[in-house]
Amino acid sequence: MSARDDENGGPATEREVIQGEIDETTEETPDTEPVDKPAGAHRAPEEEDEKPVAEEAKPGLGAELEAVRGELDERTHDLQRVTAEYANYRKRVDRDRGAAAEQTTGKVLTDLLPVLDDIDRAREHGDLVGPFASVAEQLTAVTGKLGLVPFGEKGDPFDPNRHEAVAHQTSADVTEPTCVEVMRRGYTLGERLLRPALVAVADPE
């Protein structure tokens, strides 16, 4: 049996000896280290539910994303359609506005054509002199700025779309129907024919 001396160097009692052996046994026992969980070990309920929840949420998010994309495409197409309709509306309004303005201008100029005919006759007879000549020139200049264009001159090829023949004759001096006399000039406003010219036409023999 082993014996230990006490702190003063005397012999140890039986109780102290037994306590010392227990302490030595405890010191020799190594600390228990945590053992890693095997791959198939039981997991906590929170860990088991975490992955299925993520997997269930993923398909739902994709469907929602597709729905948003579809709605975005639909709104984009609606915007493009509205933009195109508005552009067509603007073009139509501008075209109608221009046509209305041209129609109004044409009405005013048509009412002035008899005055212009009188000016032409006065010019042919040499009566376009003095203040009357100045007024006539100003009126002609104003109607020209509004787009009024006179036509119909002696020697012009006959055009049934622009000329109104009031007399026909034959002539060896022409190779095609030709205006040999102009009784009244015609007028156009842009592409619009306001009044045809009254002419006498000579046909080739």
With tokens 């046909």, the residue in question is 203
Band the pLDDT of 102: cuts 50, 70, 90.
Answer: confident
Look at 16-30, 141-155, 189-203 and tell me which has the smallest mean pLDDT. Answer: 16-30
Look at 13-22, 50-59, 113-122, 137-146 and tell me which has the smallest mean pLDDT. Answer: 50-59
Sheet architecture: strand order including 197-204: 163-171, 197-204, 178-184
Q: What is the pLDDT at residue 128?
A: 86
For residue 126, pLDDT over 80 is answered with yes
**CATH T-level topology, domain 94-204:** Nucleotide Exchange Factor Grpe; Chain A, domain 2 (2.30.22)
Q: Report how far residue 67's alpha carbon sits from residue 71's, in angstroms, rounded to the nearest whole number.
A: 6
For residue 43, pLDDT over 80 is answered with no
H-only helix segments in 29-129: 45-124
Q: What is the pLDDT at residue 4?
A: 44
Q: What is the pLDDT at residue 15?
A: 57
Q: What is the pLDDT at residue 60?
A: 73
Q: What is the pLDDT at residue 5?
A: 46
Q: What is the pLDDT at residue 7?
A: 45
Band the pLDDT of 66: cuts 50, 70, 90.
Answer: confident
> What's the alpha-carbon Rg for the chain, to the nearest Å?
57
Helix, strand, coil shares of the chain, percent, nearest 5, are: 55, 20, 25
Any idea what DSSP says for residue 204?
E
pTM given for the model? 0.57
Q: What is the pLDDT at residue 63?
A: 84
pLDDT tens digits, 164-183? 999 999 999 999 999 999 99
Q: Report how far residue 153's alpha carbon sits from residue 199's, in angstroms, rounded to the nearest whole number.
A: 9
Q: Report how far residue 97's alpha carbon sits from residue 183's, in angstroms, rounded to the nearest whole number.
A: 35
> Region 27-52: what's the mean pLDDT?
49
Average pLDDT of every residue of the chain: 80
Q: Which of 121, 136, 181, 122 lies closest to 156 in space, CA to CA?
A: 181
With contact defined as beta carbons under 8 Å apart, do 2 and 17 qualify? yes
Report the DSSP beta bridge partners of residue 3: none
